[in-house]
Amino acid sequence: MAAVLVDAGYVWKQIAKATGREHRREVDLIGYGVPLVDALVEEAEGDDIAVLRTYWYDAATDRNPNVQQRAIGRTARVKLRLGTMSFGKQKGVDRLIQKDILALANHKAVSDIILLTGDQDMEEELDAAGQHGVLMHVWGIADREQRDNISGRLLRIADEWKVFPAHWAETFVQVEGNETYGVPLASDAALAALRERLLGAQSIAPHLQQTTTADSIWGSDQYQAAGKEAYDSLKEQHGQEWSTIRDEIADCTWVSPSGETHHSIPGKYDTELMDVVEAIVGSRLTSNHARVEVRSGFWHRFEEDSHLGDQ
């Protein structure tokens, strides 16, 4: 049994380089990166290594996960581990990986550890885990110049290593020209374009985005429009499962004290809805008014989609 440990910072950097980009924010991963996680598990199982669990290590401001990170964290048999972001740099992520390597080895929880990283700071932990009888696998991703950026010292300690070619990484990146918003998590530029469109082509200066709350810019119409966009994003994210989910949502009702029957969005899908809208808006939805309007837009799009399906 194995654990797959993914250093998200390394993965984003290498995928960006593999696809001719410079920065993480320029990369849109299909399905929030969940298909990438599935592919890593399938690769391990193809090598006759059963996977117990995948650990995804990343960083977030105040350890508050973004939309993409929450999607990863909700995936079955995936544990999200978050360090912090400070002045654009990750803090504490390496330590989280190091602690898990030692814990898995000391408790003999797994026979194999697959580590997707290039960081030589894992050297001592990999060596210690090997001494506990755990087979250590180091995996990497090559960029367009066939550089995997894995520490040579790390490779010398590993029992086995593997490097995925750049064209492998490209299969998990959203194709330019077919962008969607929310699924996969759109780039900053794409979200800014959508945000401006929903605000009626009103241009928002960067300094205002940082100092102005969403509620002072967004009105009922804009929040409802964001709710409709989020509906389409969730529909795409869930794919073939959406028909079943839509039936589940349609059957979720509650009765008011006056005896009126109202529809309600089940909690787990309401959380996903708000996650996507917060990415679109660019800030947290702190007011009940905003959430009510977002749900109203969701239901409008829900009804429109239902009528189209009946035709």
Instruction: Identify the CATH number of the domain in which residue 64 sits.
Output: 3.40.50.1010
Mean pLDDT across the stretch 228-257? 82
Mean pLDDT across the stretch 5-17? 90
Mean pLDDT across the stretch 141-146? 82
Indicate whether 175 belongs to any domain: no
Domain that holds residue 225: 188-310
Between 311 and 201, the higher pLDDT residue: 311
Instruction: Say how far apart CA 39 and CA 242 lie, in whole Å.
Output: 22
Query: In this structure, what token pair is assigned to residue 81?
Result: 């581990």
Check whether 304 has a pLDDT greater than 80. Answer: yes
Check whether 90 has a pLDDT greater than 90. Answer: no
87 and 198 in a single domain? The answer is no
Q: Are 97 and 114 in contact (CB under 8 A)?
A: no
What confidence tier does 68 reach under pLDDT thresholds 50, 70, 90? confident
The pLDDT, as a whole number, for residue 102 is 92
Indicate whether 50 belongs to any domain: yes
Average pLDDT of the chain is: 80
Mean pLDDT across the stretch 132-143? 90
The pLDDT, as a whole number, for residue 310 is 53
Mean pLDDT across the stretch 34-38? 89
The pLDDT, as a whole number, for residue 201 is 38
What confidence tier does 71 reach under pLDDT thresholds 50, 70, 90? confident
What confidence tier does 151 reach under pLDDT thresholds 50, 70, 90? confident
CB neighbourhood size of 229 (10 A): 21
Check whether 143 has a pLDDT greater than 60. Answer: yes
Indicate whether 285 belongs to any domain: yes
CA dist list (Å): 264 to 226, 234, 249, 279: 18, 16, 7, 22
124 and 230 in a single domain? The answer is no
136 and 79 in a single domain? The answer is yes
Check whether 240 has a pLDDT greater than 50. Answer: yes
Check whether 184 has a pLDDT greater than 60. Answer: no
Instruction: Say how far apart CA 261 and CA 246 lie, in whole Å.
Output: 18
The pLDDT, as a whole number, for residue 170 is 84
What confidence tier does 7 reach under pLDDT thresholds 50, 70, 90? very high
Of the candidates 151, 143, 148, 172, the one whose C-alpha atom is nearest the C-alpha of residue 162 is 148
Check whether 6 has a pLDDT greater than 90. Answer: yes
162 and 238 in a single domain? The answer is no
Between 7 and 185, the higher pLDDT residue: 7
132 and 194 in a single domain? The answer is no
Between 239 and 48, the higher pLDDT residue: 48
Indicate whether 8 belongs to any domain: yes
Between 276 and 194, the higher pLDDT residue: 276
Instruction: Say how far apart CA 124 and CA 127 lie, in whole Å.
Output: 5
pTM: 0.61
192 and 219 in a single domain? The answer is yes
89 and 210 in a single domain? The answer is no
Check whether 250 has a pLDDT greater than 50. Answer: yes
Check whether 206 has a pLDDT greater than 50. Answer: no
281 and 238 in a single domain? The answer is yes
Between 104 and 239, the higher pLDDT residue: 104
3-class SS string, the chain? CEEEEEEHHHHHHHHHHHCCCCCHHHCCEHHHHHHHHHHHHHHHHHCCCCEEEEEEEEEEHHHCCCHHHHHHHCCCCEEEEEEEEECCEEECHHHHHHHHHHHHHHCCCCCEEEEECCCHHHHHHHHHHHHCCCEEEEEEECCCCCCCCCCHHHHHHCCEEEEECHHHHHCCECCCCCCCCCCCCCCHHHHHHHHHHHCCCCCCCHHHHHHCCHHHCCCHHHHHHHHHHHHHHHHHHHHHHHHHHHHHHHCCEEECCCCCEEECCCHHHHHHHHHHHHHHHCCCCCCHHHHHHHHHHHHHHHHHHHHHHHC
Check whether 279 has a pLDDT greater than 80. Answer: no
The pLDDT, as a whole number, for residue 55 is 96
Q: Please state the domain count of the chain.
A: 2
Of the candidates 267, 241, 243, 245, the one whose C-alpha atom is nearest the C-alpha of residue 254 is 267
306 and 280 in a single domain? The answer is yes
Q: For 53-62, how does the pLDDT look when each residue is reduced to its tens digit (9 = 90+)? A: 999 999 987 8
The pLDDT, as a whole number, for residue 309 is 55
What confidence tier does 169 reach under pLDDT thresholds 50, 70, 90? confident
The pLDDT, as a whole number, for residue 180 is 42
